[in-house]
Amino acid sequence: MARVTKPTKTQDIQKKRVYTRKRVCRFCQDSNITIDYKNPKLLKYFITERGKIMPRRMTGTCANHQRKLKEAINMARHIALLPFTTLSR
Ligand SMILES: [Zn+2]
């Protein structure tokens, strides 16, 4: 009697699909979001926990908006809204 194989593999594939996001530029998609250096809550999403700016290939931001984002993050760092770096352990 042939046993029914457990559908673990297909479930794994489905899980992976859930986690891989569609890489669409957030700012192009939603025109209500404006890149503002006075809004660290938004900018924090685009920096790592070490304070580095996330690369475009991770966030999916388009080149035009990534450039504006970089400038906003640099300005926010200058007025101490965002960290340049965090202390190492
Ligand atoms: Zn964009």
For residue range 5-63, list pLDDT tens digits in order.
Answer: 665 555 555 555 444 556 789 999 999 999 999 999 999 999 999 999 999 999 999 99
72 located within any domain: yes
| CATH number of residue 45's parent domain | 4.10.640.10
2 located within any domain: no
Closest CA to 56 of 30, 82, 28, 84: 28
Number of domains in the chain: 1
pLDDT score recorded for residue 8: 57
60 located within any domain: yes
Helix (H, G, I), strand (E, B) or coil at 53: strand
26-57 per-residue burial string, b: 16 or more CB within 10 A, e: under 16 = bbeeeeeeebebeebebbeebbeeeeebbebe
Residues bordering ligand 1, an ion, CB closer than 5 Å: 25, 27-28, 62, 65
Mean pLDDT of the chain: 84
| Distance from residue 49's CA to the centre of ligand 1 (Å) | 23
The torsion angles phi and psi of 55, rounded to 5 degrees, stand at: -70, 160
| Structural domain boundaries, residue 61 | 22-89
pLDDT score recorded for residue 68: 96
36 located within any domain: yes
6 located within any domain: no
The radius of gyration of the chain's CA atoms, rounded to the nearest angstrom, is 19
3 located within any domain: no
